[in-house]
DNA sequence: GCGCGGCAAAGTGCATGCAATTGAGGCGCT
DNA sequence: AGCGCCTCAATTGCATGCACTTTGCCGCGC
């Protein structure tokens, strides 16, 4: 009733109930903070119950997350948090390096005062988080890069950088030593400075070496060494019945033998 | 029953009924062949009816395509084929250039005989398609790049190259002159040759200039000039109720000129 | 003691039904 | 005629129900 009168409210309303989005964001965050480890089971019912929605919605959210590579969906089986292979982790970092070079190239010398302030505030938050849990500082480090990407005003670039950064973040929980993280903060500050200064080549170099160092520091072992990895190694063998599979970007790469 | 015995069949079965995937592939293809123009409406019921599934499945497929940026999903409104802005088209090409440089860098000098044969066969097909419809040759040109990406054995790279290539393909139907396409074929052959020869720098340069020339040749006008563009231009203004919105790649474009 | 076969619980795959929202045309008012 | 309200068909948002698949478990035969 009074549809016309309510129409004004509708605008605000349209944002409010994005249930799928809420679940996606929550899960993404839980995954990158390692509250959900790779391999963790994500049954639709439990998800639905936890978030107060039906399986339909939970399922849809899992679909989105699977499209982003954070979740693995196997037919008739419980969805699990993705467990990227070491090779996939390397590939993700390679892609990320190129994408973020693009980001800083577009941004060099073009940041507004407000944006610089935002960036500095974020790095300050990173600094403060060094006392807290590792998980939070890893998340903040990742979000620094996403914040940067959001400043390009390129929705596409933002989306790809976000995705690949989350994936890289996920791999850290698999292949990195317990340590890490705090080291990147000074590099973040250097990147901001170089961006303000506006030297394209220099800032691209900085970003490149920053990510490269994170990658090589993080991805320590050519073969994963963690509790679950026997299962990981066996997975590709146990999976198939012999028939070839279309390039579904599923498991093609595993074979590094 | 006889679950153990039936297990053999299950393997074959698992491939057969991927209804969501079937719909996605069909729609993707229809979109890049311009059977579905940007702005075309995609109601869930019609889709479901056409493919013999329920709305639930059609909806899920639309969700996936929206995640890939081929479809725009607005709450409580009919889904439509995406209508990227000119700027988004440029951004997509920029990203694509970087990603495909990565592809050829990984592939240079590492192609097997079989792979080279596949590539040549594909380009032959492109050649033959010059008599046929523009749509098909555009699709084949795009698929050449995807074929290349699939040879890297990096599922992640393959996924991103595919997505961004499809998006670029989509923009061609909006911003390019009727002409085009056949020109790229000789460049494809040159790239294959350089890959076989194995000169990394050279093949990266070739790929770069190939894509760059496609982009600049294709994206002719800084402001789109096509039937529906008054609506396009007005869309961002008509959209909001004043509250800020994160760059959400929102666009409104209804057909019906 | 050990493995095989089957049963039951858990979980997914999908369709359908109902409420809510939107968009468009009709109707009256000015 | 022009303008705005109101109503209704079209369409989406979401939950629920049913069938099928998978998996763990228990008992049976060897």
**What is the 3-class SS of A94-141, one letter each residue?**
HHHHHHHHHHHHHHCCCCCHHHHHHHHHHHHHHHHCCCCCHHHHHHHH
Give yes or no for CB of B54 within 7 Å of strand D: no
Averaged pLDDT score across all residues of chain A: 81
Query: Which of A219, A235, A217, A214 shows the shortest CA–CA distance to A80?
Result: A235
DSSP character at residue A198? T
SS3 A81: strand
Q: Which two tokens stand for residue A150?
A: 């959001």
Q: Are A140 and A125 in contact (CB under 8 A)?
A: yes
The answer to whether the Cβ–Cβ distance between A157 and B95 falls below 8 Å is yes
Query: Which of A198, A151, A175, A200 shows the shortest CA–CA distance to A89?
Result: A175
Work out the pLDDT band at A175, boundaries 50, 70, 90: confident
In the stretch 21-60 of chain B, residues with CB closer than 8 A to chain A read 56, 59-60
Residues B88-138 have pLDDT tens digits of 999 999 999 999 999 999 999 999 999 999 999 999 999 998 887 778 888
Q: Which pLDDT score is estimated for A178? A: 60
- Fold for A19-83, please state it: Arc Repressor Mutant, subunit A (1.10.10)
Work out the pLDDT band at B222, boundaries 50, 70, 90: low
The answer to whether the Cβ–Cβ distance between A155 and B12 falls below 8 Å is no
Work out the pLDDT band at A16, boundaries 50, 70, 90: low
Question: Which residues 10-39 of chain A have a CB under 7 Å from nucleic chain D?
Answer: 17, 19-20
- Assess whether pLDDT exceeds 70 at residue A8: no
User: Which conformational region is residue A21 in: left (phi greater than 0), alpha (psi within -120 to 50 degrees), or beta?
Assistant: alpha
Q: Which pLDDT score is estimated for A66? A: 97
DSSP character at residue B36? S
Work out the pLDDT band at A222, boundaries 50, 70, 90: low
DSSP A2-66: -HHHHHHHHHHHHHH--HHHHHHHHHHHHHHTTSS-TT-EE-HHHHHHHHTS-HHHHHHHHHHHH
The answer to whether the Cβ–Cβ distance between A67 and B69 falls below 8 Å is no
Q: Which two tokens stand for residue A198?
A: 């506006």
Distance from C-alpha of B139 to C-alpha of B233, rounded to nearest angstrom? 28
Distance from C-alpha of A215 to C-alpha of B102, rounded to nearest angstrom? 17
When the candidates are 1.10.287.4070, 3.30.420.40, 3.40.190.10, 1.10.10.10, the CATH number that belongs to B19-83+228-257 is 1.10.10.10
Q: Which two tokens stand for residue B235?
A: 């869309």
Angle (CA) B146-B215-B34 rounded to 5° is 65
Distance from C-alpha of A95 to C-alpha of A166, rounded to nearest angstrom? 13
Query: To the nearest 10°, the Cα dihedral for B64, B69, B74, B75?
Result: 30
Contacts B167 to A, Cβ<8 Å: 156
Contacts B12 to A, Cβ<8 Å: 241, 243
Could you tell me which residues come within 8 angstroms of residue B222 by beta carbon, excluding any fewer than 6 positions away?
A: B86
Q: Are B211 and B96 in contact (CB under 8 A)?
A: yes
Contacts B248 to A, Cβ<8 Å: 155
Q: Which pLDDT score is estimated for A203? A: 96
Instruction: Decide whether A19-83 matches A86-218 in CATH topology.
Output: no
Q: Are A181 and A134 in contact (CB under 8 A)?
A: yes
Give yes or no for CB of B254 within 7 Å of strand D: no
Q: Which two tokens stand for residue B108?
A: 């240079």
- Assess whether pLDDT exceeds 60 at residue A241: no
Give yes or no for CB of A9 within 7 Å of strand C: no
CA distances from residue A194 to A105, A127, A143, A198, A207 in whole angstroms, order as listed: 11, 19, 19, 6, 10
DSSP B113-136: HHHHHHHHHHHHHHHHTTSS-HHH
Q: Which two tokens stand for residue B75?
A: 């709450």
Q: Are A88 and A257 in contact (CB under 8 A)?
A: no
CA distances from residue B96 to A33, A146, A157, B63 in whole angstroms, order as listed: 30, 19, 10, 23
DSSP B72-115: E--TTS-EEE----HHHHHHHHHHHHHHHHHHHHHHTT---HHH
Q: Tokens 């499809």 appear where? A: B166
In the stretch 208-237 of chain A, residues with CB closer than 8 A to chain B read none
Distance from C-alpha of A99 to C-alpha of A92, rounded to nearest angstrom? 11
SS3 A72: strand
Work out the pLDDT band at B162, boundaries 50, 70, 90: very high
The residues spanned by each domain of chain B are: 19-83+228-257, 86-218
More confidently predicted of A193 and A10: A193
Q: Distance from residue B1 (CA) to nucleotide C4 (C1'), in Å?
A: 14
Residues A61-107 have pLDDT tens digits of 999 999 999 999 999 999 999 999 889 999 999 999 999 999 999 99
Least confident of A189-203, B158-172, B173-187: B173-187
Report the pLDDT averaged over residues A114-135.
90
Structural domain B86-218, CATH architecture: Up-down Bundle (1.20)
More confidently predicted of A255 and A74: A74
Beta carbon pairs, A and B, within 8 Å: 112
Give yes or no for CB of B12 within 7 Å of strand C: no
Q: Are B148 and B119 in contact (CB under 8 A)?
A: yes
Phi, psi of A108 (to 5 degrees): -55, 120
SS3 A71: strand
Helices A200-218 and A86-107 pack at an angle, to 10 degrees, of: 160
ipTM over 0.85: no
Please list the residues that pair with A81 across neighbouring strands. A71
Distance from C-alpha of B66 to C-alpha of B58, rounded to nearest angstrom? 12
Gap between the terminal Cα atoms of chain A: 67
Contacts A73 to B, Cβ<8 Å: none
By C-alpha distance, the chain B residue nearest A167 is B156
Nearest Cβ partner for B155 among A60, A88, A159? A88
């Amino acid at each position: 009733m009074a549809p016309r009168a309510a129409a004004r409210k509708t605008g605000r309303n349209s944002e409010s109930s994005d249930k799928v989005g809420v679940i996606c964001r929550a899960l993404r965050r839980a995954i990158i903070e390692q509250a959900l480890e790779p391999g963790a089971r994500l049954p639709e019912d439990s998800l639905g119950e936890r978030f107060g929605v039906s399986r339909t919605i939970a399922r849809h959210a899992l679909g989105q997350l699977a499209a982003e590579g954070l979740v693995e969906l196997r037919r008739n089986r419980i969805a699990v948090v993705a467990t990227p292979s070491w090779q996939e982790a390397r590939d993700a970092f390679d892609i990320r390096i190129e994408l973020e070079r693009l980001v800083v190239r577009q941004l060099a010398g073009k940041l507004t005062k407000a944006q610089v302030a935002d960036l500095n505030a974020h790095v300050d938050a990173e600094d403060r988080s060094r006392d807290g849990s590792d998980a939070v500082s890893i998340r903040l480090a990742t979000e620094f890069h996403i914040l940067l990407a959001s400043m390009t005003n390129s929705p596409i670039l933002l989306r790809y950088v976000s995705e690949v950064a989350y994936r890289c973040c996920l791999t850290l929980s698999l292949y990195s030593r317990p340590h890490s993280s705090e080291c990147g903060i000074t590099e973040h500050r250097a990147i901001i400075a170089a961006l303000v200064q506006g030297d394209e080549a220099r800032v691209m170099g900085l970003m490149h070496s920053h990510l490269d160092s994170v990658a090589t520091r993080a991805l320590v072992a050519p073969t994963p060494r963690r509790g679950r990895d026997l299962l990981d190694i066996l997975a590709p063998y146990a999976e198939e019945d012999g028939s070839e599979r279309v390039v579904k970007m599923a498991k093609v790469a595993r074979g590094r033998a």
